[in-house]
Amino acid sequence: MSHPVVLIHGMWCTSASLSRLAASLRARGFECHVPNLPAHEAGVRHEEVGGLSLLDYVRYLEQYVAERRFKQPPILVGHSMGGLLAQLLAPRVDAFALVLLTPASPAGINAVRLRPLLAFSSVLGRPGFWRKPQKPSLARARASVFNGLPPPRQNELHAGMVEESGRAVFEIAFWQLDRKHASRVEPAAVRCPVYVVAAGQDHLVPAAVARKVAARYARSTLRYYPGRGHWVIDDGETDEMAGEIAGWLLPYEQRAARGLPMRA
C-alpha cells in the first residue's frame, strides 16, 4: 500500500494497546506507525499529564507526522479519544483517509449517557479533576472499557493502563464550557473519506454517538458491530475488522495510484 498509516491510541492507553491491530494491518501490506501520546509512557507516572490539552496532543501528532516526511498523505486510524484526535489532526496533515474506531465525539455532539457517566464517575467526582491525572478503577474499566473480554484479559489490560489528562476529559465531556473549544472539528475541513466503527455493546462511546460522528461527514461509511464492546482494537473480531478496513481503503488506494481524483 502506498499511504502510511498512523494509529492513535485512546485514553489511559499507550502505543502497545494498538499492537494487535497494527500487526493485522501490516499483514495486509500497510506501513504502520504507532506513536505514544505525550506523558503516556507505560510504567512511569507523569504528574504533568493532568493539565495536557487535546490541543497539546494534536500538536505533538502533527509534529510526529511532519518528522517522518511521508511521501504520501497518511491514513489516520484512531481509537476512542484517538478517534477524536484523528478528526482534529486530519486537516492539519491533509489526511488521505480517516478510520475512527468507537470514536470520542467532537464538540457539538451530546455524548452524555448514563453508562459513560458511570464510567467517569470516580474521575468527575474528584475536586479539580480537570487539572489532575486520572485513571479508572478496575471495576469501572471492566464494566465500561473492557466489557465482553475474558476477566483475566480485563485485569491484564487494566494493569497496563496509564493515567490520563483530566483536562482532556473535561474538554471532551464538557465541551460547552471549554473556552478554547479544544474538541471542535469543522466538518467541512475534513475532506477525506471517513470510516466509522460503532459497537452495540460499547458502554463508553455508545453506538448512537458513533453514528452521530459518522453523520457529520459527507464522505463517511458506518460499520456497526452489534455484539462488540468498546475494545475493538483487540477482541475476537479485530482481524476481521482489519480486513474490512483494508477492503474499504483499497478502491481509494487504487484510484490514487492511477492519479485519479478521490470519489465519494
Strands of 32-33's sheet in order across = 32-33, 5-8, 75-79, 97-101, 194-199, 220-225
Alpha carbons 229 and 2: distance in angstroms, whole number:
31
134 phi/psi in degrees, rounded to 5: -135, 145
Residue 207 has, within 13 A of its CA and on its CB side, a CA count of: 14
Running DSSP on this structure, what letter comes out for residue 48?
G
C-alpha cell at 13: 492507553
Contact by Cβ (8 Å): 168, 48: no
Running DSSP on this structure, what letter comes out for residue 132?
S
pLDDT value for 259? 80
| CATH architecture entry for 5-257 | 3-Layer(aba) Sandwich (3.40)
pLDDT value for 258? 85
Residue in 168, 77, 95 with CA at minimum distance from that of residue 131: 168
Domain ranges of the chain: 5-257
Alpha carbons 19 and 26: distance in angstroms, whole number:
10
Residue that the C-alpha cell 491484564 belongs to: 156
Residues of the chain whose pLDDT is less than 50?
264
Running DSSP on this structure, what letter comes out for residue 98?
E
- pLDDT tens, position by position, 105-141: 999 998 665 555 555 656 665 656 667 788 889 999 9
pLDDT value for 160? 94
